[in-house]
A and B are shown apart, each in its own frame.
Chain A
């Protein structure tokens, strides 16, 4: 149990899926404070399902999930809201919200019944706005933003929620290379400077290898977890995709197309 206490999030022999359909099993990992961790894997292997299960949006099928030393399912909704925040692939339902209004909603777990913001809440909102370079967009409506800007707003909202753990589902899709790197750099900064534990799914394996402290590879077998360089040495990335078309180059940490 001591081992569990030290970690913000840990899973043991976790099985995920829908109803009776198992999507992935034997998922074992644990994250310490201030870690940036990417989840990689082929399409349909269960990355989003894992994230949704960890976020409490769907029940696990087996095994255990712990937030600190308490099982995930034993958290009340309001306890959960102060421990983990999420950034999902779905856009906000109302795009008529301003950037500041949307980020302010992140403070809901701490506000009174009417949602009035205290000066501490306002400080958190300002910090998030500044950290994600959104000061000029404060009063812009969400429908006026580019994909990259909206993604920054959504992550800033999660930061304003001030939880030790942040889960993000594919935060870099639909973005160009520059904005992909920008988002991941900001996440890295958030993890290291603000001591947040950040777990995100991604298809950008090369970027994940360069920027993440830890990587969880969903391969449908034993789902290896560890520092990217260790996983490279153990040849885990090579098993990620069938090798006839692309091959992993351990020296550069990238995939190359077979000519």
Chain B
């Protein structure tokens, strides 16, 4: 297979597109900064207006980096789930993994005041939020995987995922009923989803989680390819099923859970990007797909965030509204074109 060579041009193009998306994302925002000023600022030159410097380096660049990590990481998590579940419609949101992360976050953000009114919100640190959301997503992922062992039916699995989503959101609303107004507000804002407003500490933690997830994913590439034949064939090729499955689940859970902890439950990116990527990279080979899906997801998330900014306006749309508008039609398109259901 001479795939690595034949997709080289596509990789060059998609990398250029990513750079453009980053610059575009950074140059737009509620305060109008000229494009040329943004570019020279990015190249390290001092800017005419001191406040621009602050906006650029303390807000927009971290936000673009967050969007890049969130988009790439969620998409990769979607790819892992689609291969693991042999299901083209699997993704962190559809399978209820994001809901699991929400439940983890809700228990932490609201449960603290539910258990004891003395507990102060400052007690809830960044690390514990990431851990709680990741644990929530691992929990749901593990349950879905156990169910998937028994039920091979694509649709049944998806409906079960939706049911998990309902159960977790029901639990969240019970929590919300008993919690204090402040913690409820904090949870609601979190659940809108946002890639801005991450402290540098949070951003470095997110970066660490995504790098770890990507690393585990790269280590699983060979096993992921074997899983394309089905589990029995993978076993006959010498893949250690339990170990590989565990590594893939940890990678998918870390990516989905960690990202959801900091950026909120962002919908559809994880599901849609692997399919959109295959429109350019028409292969199932994970050595190609893993980097391609990450890059494509990063680009899409940066563009969605740029749109959400409503250029030169103070209004910011919830990022989930934009990703739904992009992602939902992809799902409909997949269902209509049955052939493409073959993943």
Contact = CB atoms under 8 A, between A and B. Distances in A.
A-B interaction: yes
B86 interface: yes
B343 interface: yes
A97 B230 CA distance: 12
Interface in A212-242: none
Contacts of B240: 77
A17 interface: no
B236 A85 contact: yes
B98 to A, nearest CB: 25
Nearest to B339: A143
B238 interface: yes
Given A114-B287, A115-B221, A96 B239 contact: no
Contacts of B339: 143
B239 A77 contact: yes
A59 interface: no
B232 A81 contact: no
B238 A78 contact: yes
Given A77-B235, A77-B238, A105-B229, A97 B287 contact: no
Chain B interface bracket (under 10, 10 to 19, 20 to 34, 35 or more): 20 to 34
A94 B237 contact: no
Given A108-B222, A117-B1, A93 B238 contact: no
Interface string A86-114: 10101111111110111011101101011
B342 A57 contact: no
Given A93-B228, A102-B229, A114-B222, A161 B237 contact: yes
B190 interface: no
Chain A interface bracket (under 10, 10 to 19, 20 to 34, 35 or more): 35 or more
Contact of B221 (A86, A96, A114, A143): A114
A80 interface: yes
Given A108-B226, A115-B222, A143-B342, A92 B233 contact: yes
Contacts of B138: none
A55 interface: yes
Contacts of B232: 57, 86, 88, 90
A109 B235 CA distance: 11
Given A101-B283, A108-B239, 11 more contacts: A57-B235, A81-B237, A82-B238, A88-B233, A92-B230, A94-B83, A95-B342, A108-B226, A109-B237, A109-B238, A115-B222
10 contacts: A56-B236, A57-B232, A77-B235, A88-B233, A92-B233, A94-B86, A105-B228, A108-B238, A114-B287, A115-B225
Interface of A: 55-57, 77-78, 80-82, 84-86, 88, 90-98, 100-102, 104-106, 108-109, 111, 113-117, 143, 161
